[in-house]
Amino acid sequence: MASIFTHKDYRIFWLIAFVLPFASFAQKADYSPAYFGPNANPVPSFPNARIPQATTIESSSNHHFGWGDYTRNLMLSAEIPLLPQRVSFKTWVPLFERYKVTQAIYDKRNMEGGKLTGKANGDFYVQTKISILTETHWRPSIILNSTLKTASGTKFKQRRYFDTPGYYFDSEIGKSIYFENKFLREVRGVVDFGFLCWETTNSTQNDAPMYGGKLILSNDLFDFENTLSGYKGWMNNGDRPLVYAVKLTLKQPSFNSFIRYEYGIKDFPYHSIQVGTSFVLPTLTPKY
């Protein structure tokens, strides 16, 4: 009996058979913070709605734990005011990540390789900050941020970093009230809102409104911050993280030391502790 299939039909059949397993695997990856490491797509932090006068270099040690994933990494960042208090360029990257997950987390994330421990390096972030409105006695300051995330992070199959790029635009609005008091010199409120976007599978984008609010209590010796922030993706696959953070900064003339704790309220299954130092470097600040 003659076959009803041609040679071309068989080639198409084997092509589909070869491609299908890879397509199936791609669909198993949920591109969301609930199913990846803590540095893959975190809730973006926002400072104080100000642009510094001098170049600032910051380094910190980060520890993320709880819910079956323990991660340690370094974080390096640099902000250079191209026009002091008007325009700045900022970049940061998580480096030398070491992680350990439980078997339950390995299975939940559909990880590959069979190992529960490993090392990874993160994505680079590049940001431009522009002062739209300067603060006066009555009006707030407004800062516009434009940020690009690369796809340079490693260990996608181990669910440490996305293998796709992303970006976000956001605005910081800040206003201070000052007091003639040694213990409390300044109370500053900051709100942040914007739009976050990242690529997932099959050229699909996840788009998420960003939001956040912060209260900062300051004097000559320290800053004390409380922040609630998050974003809300449309896929509803663990892409709606909400986090609370508290940060204490001890101030010195040429450097600051800080400790920060962050708790994932929703879709960010981590406690995070960050300890670091930022250095103010006027000699590396562009002169005009």
Residue 4, pLDDT > 70, answer no
Q: What is the pLDDT of residues 108-136, one digit of tens each?
A: 999 999 999 999 999 999 999 999 999 99
Tell me what the mean pLDDT of segment 140-157 comes to.
Answer: 97
CA distance 98 to 88: 31
Fold of 7-284: Porin (2.40.160)
If you ran DSSP here, which 8-state letter would residue 12 be given?
H
Q: What is the pLDDT of residues 209-260, one digit of tens each?
A: 999 999 999 999 999 999 999 999 999 999 999 999 999 999 998 899 999 9
Cα 115 from chain centre: 26
Q: What is the pLDDT of residues 149-160, one digit of tens each?
A: 999 999 999 999
Q: What is the pLDDT of residues 40-99, one digit of tens each?
A: 999 999 999 999 999 999 999 999 999 999 999 999 999 999 998 899 999 999 999 999
3-state SS class at 281: strand
Q: What is the pLDDT of residues 196-213, one digit of tens each?
A: 999 998 779 999 999 999
Residue 9, pLDDT > 60, answer no
Give whole-number Cα distances, 78 to 26, 166, 213, 275, in Å.
35, 20, 23, 16
Neighbour-count burial of 7, counting CB atoms closer than 10 A to its CB (0-12 exposed, 13-18 middle, 19+ buried): exposed
Tell me what the mean pLDDT of segment 138-152 comes to.
Answer: 97
